Structure 1
């Protein structure tokens, strides 16, 4: 057998050598010259930067009980271009997320055809449901960690706390007012994913997430539940259109309870309506009626023109002024200032005020905060309406003296009663817990408020209009109000606002409460009949819960 020519063998060796040099050259190129590019390309396919969610600040009551918290949830999303558009895959996925297969397929097709890379599948689902969806191992389906706002107390504190939208942005109430304080700052992290987009491991935190700050309200959740229960029962019992109640710390202006009816559940957005969402206590305006009379008496005493023993002739129970008639329930004859409050005499308080300088009544009403916001900072809080002092007519002064012709919120009314309870000093109304009360404003002399409180006590004793506000074991100072509602054709003869404002214990005031029932139906509609009993139940329990000692122990019932 003849051996192969040597030149062929050399040719093979040369070919192999060239191939080896090409391979070595390529390796050198990849490792020395293209390594950075290749590393970048690999990172692009496997490394991702993902948002690092942070939770919104918690809202609590004054004792740390949660009113609003953020719970971890999972959001499901799709990369439409990566998702297999087979009918079986769409059907399986749609069944888990409770969507129509046809609608889901149509949505995915539209996003994919438009070249879009992100489509929400379902926001804020439970981790269990997310696990079920990801177990399908469908390409293009991903998860994102988020937080969902939850309100443990439901509708009990809904009007004050408010709520957020799905992105945890404040929409109403304190959630809106303090959104900047509660808002979280998301961070970011670097993660390693496989080619199917599944996270393999977390590599590094690029920017740490910063949670929102905690907000501590002045509310006492124990008292809030109590007020909510009693107001709701009263609105249902008297078939009222709505109702509101505010309970204040008389020494600091802190709101310990604030409730409205109807209410709403912020955890169930499908059942919300604007009518139920309104915080009536701070937004709705009312003519206060006779609950204003203690201030008119205090102004008369402060002027130095009157003393508690002075008598005002109210006969014959009516008076004509500028073509209008002012009436009492009956002819009470001559009444002391205490008698004017006890019998709630419109004629008596009008004749008293008309003897004072023209501008004095409105000036003091302005100092009491009527016609201006309380300072609570609640979004949408109303300022009310107070007539100016310039050339105010006699009939206007008369009607103002018994609570007609001005508009106030329940919050303004409670704040003003604080001045009577606190030795003439009125603090700004606050919805936040205060370690030290804000600087107050001296409106009346302490001697004047002490005299007015003594007169208001008689209104809750036999013979007064507020006897159903009396609390066994405690001295109570208060005033009833029953106001004709204003309609399109003037005051409605059969439609009323029933109110009661009170202070306890009268010997050393600690709490102020104001109750309003709008349009109670049936035989009972006076403030002393429908609002005073609510005050008695709420204030009586609140005094005991706060361990405030009785100041009239001889009145305690066995």
Structure 2
């Protein structure tokens, strides 16, 4: 008995000593080890900010989803449950098994990302050891392909990848929170211990885009490209007084809600990344330089364009017709390449170059849009005489559709240029480019283009509104020269002409069916979209008592709502093969 009591006493003393060691001496060590096995810090997902159009309509929203993840070693211990798991997540059992075996040393791998909450819960209800769910958010775009090139898209981790989603990623993304939880051996959360970091949801943003005008532009551009069997096209609409982008559409397009079905070609925002030679749409900029000298007015001096062929320095400049003697306004109305070239010859090269640069050609618009191209224009001191003549009607330089639209918006805004903005109410850089009087004269000269005999009449006509604009038809540069049968058809304009509210540019690339002229292909798109936009924005009609500059024409053409008389379309003469 003594021996037994002694042994039991010693054992009891050992247990007490061991308990003292565990509970007091090495308590912190063992607590840390225990927490390491059951206490976890997990992220708290946050919703990305919503993107609205200027009228408060949602363009991009975040919806809650669930992602299924697993601890590979625990799932492999219940290998017989893998077929049921694979069926629930829509995968092949053998592939799931191989995937887990290759990552057996990890504690966390995704099995399926961004499932609907109901489908994910069905997976969790299977009760497979090591399989867990994690709440996330997925981006959804209600307008689909209509606004895809502007908004861009996010990746699977909800970070912006292109477009405004990328440009404003820091603003929209927010900051995920974090909390400590206790999980059981199955990985299930049994207790929330504490919040480590509070989540900060992303901030909303209101764009300058008007979804209604955006849809009009999308629909008309799509229909025209399909009808003319063109390769691609783009349209930009700007608010003249603020520089805000009201609409921007490119075709072909893609659906950001089904990104995997799209290609890089479809995702390219051609209004921002593609450059074109502006062709005759550059002529108003040339005329701005000419008017600034004081030697030119809208009606003088007279310019002899001859019989439609002008031989200059080994190159023949051509017009579509023999216009003979024209005023500067006539050069714009008839889109005379010869007239433009002869005007350029009388201008100081530095003045012409500085005017083009002031209107934004050869430099970025500073819109902040990712991947925006700056275009190209050779430094003025390097211009050769023939290059200078050809630049007068839009060859030898290139620009993005946004740059061209912003140049016309500047003309319509009394010569004040704004940096284009995609955010409603944003205050960007502004500067006076040309004298307001010159800008007013340019608008009047551009209005003649839509009058009978102009290159856009009657296809740019809008009932009850006066239109100022310019057509452009240019051979495309390909393989070091200009293609004979590949054209860029353009129209740039302002509405209403009496007090411009909007500027827009339409460019159709390589129309193959029907006409390829800007006045026939692009001007109708401009007219249909602007017709709807003017009414959506409640812009009052401006043609009461006046259809054209200087008052109404004879007959009934000055009556409200009466269509101007039909007139044969006279278009720009594409330049012959020439490599600057």
TM category (shorter chain) comes to over 0.9
Matches of 1:399 and 1:555, distance apart in 2 = 41
Matches within 5 A, 1:405-484: 405-435=396-426, 437-467=427-457, 468-484=459-475
- In structure 2, what is the equivalent of residue 382 of structure 1? 373
Quote how far apart the aligned CAs of 1:214 are. Answer: 2.5
Matches within 5 A, 1:58-207: 58-112=50-104, 115-207=105-197
Whether contact under 8 Å (2:76, 2:100) holds in the other structure is no
Quote how far apart the aligned CAs of 1:55 are. Answer: 2.4
Quote how far apart the aligned CAs of 1:434 are. Answer: 2.2
Judged with a 3 Å threshold, the aligned counterparts in structure 2 of structure 1 residues 313 and 193 are, in CA distance, closer, same or farther, namely same
Whether contact under 8 Å (1:474, 1:555) holds in the other structure is no
Whether contact under 8 Å (1:316, 1:331) holds in the other structure is yes
Matches of 2:13 and 2:417, distance apart in 1 = 94
Which sits farther off after the overlay, 363-372 or 454-463?
454-463
Judged with a 3 Å threshold, the aligned counterparts in structure 2 of structure 1 residues 342 and 80 are, in CA distance, closer, same or farther, namely same
Whether contact under 8 Å (2:420, 2:428) holds in the other structure is no
Matches of 2:71 and 2:32, distance apart in 1 = 22
Determine if the alignment matches structure 1 residue 488 to structure 2 residue 479. yes
Determine if the alignment matches structure 1 residue 300 to structure 2 residue 318. no
Determine if the alignment matches structure 1 residue 263 to structure 2 residue 268. no
Quote how far apart the aligned CAs of 1:57 are. Answer: 2.6
Matches of 1:173 and 1:228, distance apart in 2 = 17
**1:354-403 deviation digits (Å, cap 9, x = unpaired):** 12223221110011110000111212211111122215332222111111
Matches within 5 A, 1:194-343: 194-310=184-300, 311-343=302-334
Matches of 2:53 and 2:249, distance apart in 1 = 14
**1:214-242 deviation digits (Å, cap 9, x = unpaired):** 23322111111111111111111111100
- In structure 2, what is the equivalent of residue 4 of structure 1? none
Quote how far apart the aligned CAs of 1:449 are. Answer: 1.5
Q: Secondary structure at the match of 2:376?
A: coil
What TM-score, normalized by structure 1, do the two folds share? 0.93
Matches of 1:490 and 1:12, distance apart in 2 = 109
Matches of 2:475 and 2:243, distance apart in 1 = 29
Aligned partner (choices 8, 32, 39) of residue 47 of structure 1: 39
Matches of 2:11 and 2:287, distance apart in 1 = 111
Quote how far apart the aligned CAs of 1:195 are. Answer: 2.6
Judged with a 3 Å threshold, the aligned counterparts in structure 2 of structure 1 residues 508 and 24 are, in CA distance, closer, same or farther, namely same
- In structure 2, what is the equivalent of residue 404 of structure 1? 395
Matches of 1:532 and 1:454, distance apart in 2 = 18
Judged with a 3 Å threshold, the aligned counterparts in structure 2 of structure 1 residues 16 and 378 are, in CA distance, closer, same or farther, namely closer
Matches of 2:8 and 2:400, distance apart in 1 = 97
Matches within 5 A, 1:496-507: 496-507=487-498
Matches of 2:230 and 2:370, distance apart in 1 = 26
- In structure 2, what is the equivalent of residue 548 of structure 1? 539
Judged with a 3 Å threshold, the aligned counterparts in structure 2 of structure 1 residues 354 and 20 are, in CA distance, closer, same or farther, namely closer
Q: How many residues align?
A: 547
Flag the structure with larger Rg: 1
Quote how far apart the aligned CAs of 1:475 are. Answer: 0.9
Judged with a 3 Å threshold, the aligned counterparts in structure 2 of structure 1 residues 30 and 300 are, in CA distance, closer, same or farther, namely closer
Judged with a 3 Å threshold, the aligned counterparts in structure 2 of structure 1 residues 502 and 24 are, in CA distance, closer, same or farther, namely same
Matches of 1:223 and 1:508, distance apart in 2 = 20
Aligned partner (choices 364, 367, 384) of residue 393 of structure 1: 384
Q: Which ranges of structure 2 fall in alignment gaps of 5 or more residues?
A: 545-558, 564-580
Matches of 1:239 and 1:344, distance apart in 2 = 26
Q: Which ranges of structure 1 fall in alignment gaps of 5 or more residues?
A: 1-7
Matches of 2:186 and 2:434, distance apart in 1 = 75
Judged with a 3 Å threshold, the aligned counterparts in structure 2 of structure 1 residues 343 and 43 are, in CA distance, closer, same or farther, namely same
Matches of 1:346 and 1:164, distance apart in 2 = 46
Which sits farther off after the overlay, 273-282 or 85-94?
85-94
- In structure 2, what is the equivalent of residue 525 of structure 1? 516
Quote how far apart the aligned CAs of 1:46 are. Answer: 3.2
Q: Secondary structure at the match of 1:268?
A: helix
Matches of 1:445 and 1:292, distance apart in 2 = 18
Q: Secondary structure at the match of 2:346?
A: coil
Quote how far apart the aligned CAs of 1:26 are. Answer: 5.7
Which sits farther off after the overlay, 66-75 or 239-248?
66-75
Which sits farther off after the overlay, 293-302 or 387-396?
387-396
Whether contact under 8 Å (1:169, 1:183) holds in the other structure is yes
How well do the aligned residues superpose, as a CA RMSD in angstroms?
2.1
**1:141-199 deviation digits (Å, cap 9, x = unpaired):** 11222222222221111111111211122221122222232233222101122232211
Whether contact under 8 Å (2:281, 2:490) holds in the other structure is yes
Judged with a 3 Å threshold, the aligned counterparts in structure 2 of structure 1 residues 17 and 225 are, in CA distance, closer, same or farther, namely same
Matches of 1:35 and 1:490, distance apart in 2 = 82
Judged with a 3 Å threshold, the aligned counterparts in structure 2 of structure 1 residues 29 and 383 are, in CA distance, closer, same or farther, namely closer
Whether contact under 8 Å (2:227, 2:513) holds in the other structure is no
Quote how far apart the aligned CAs of 1:428 are. Answer: 1.1
Quote how far apart the aligned CAs of 1:508 are. Answer: 0.8
What TM-score, normalized by structure 2, do the two folds share? 0.90
Matches of 2:208 and 2:199, distance apart in 1 = 29
Matches of 2:314 and 2:401, distance apart in 1 = 31
Whether contact under 8 Å (2:228, 2:514) holds in the other structure is no
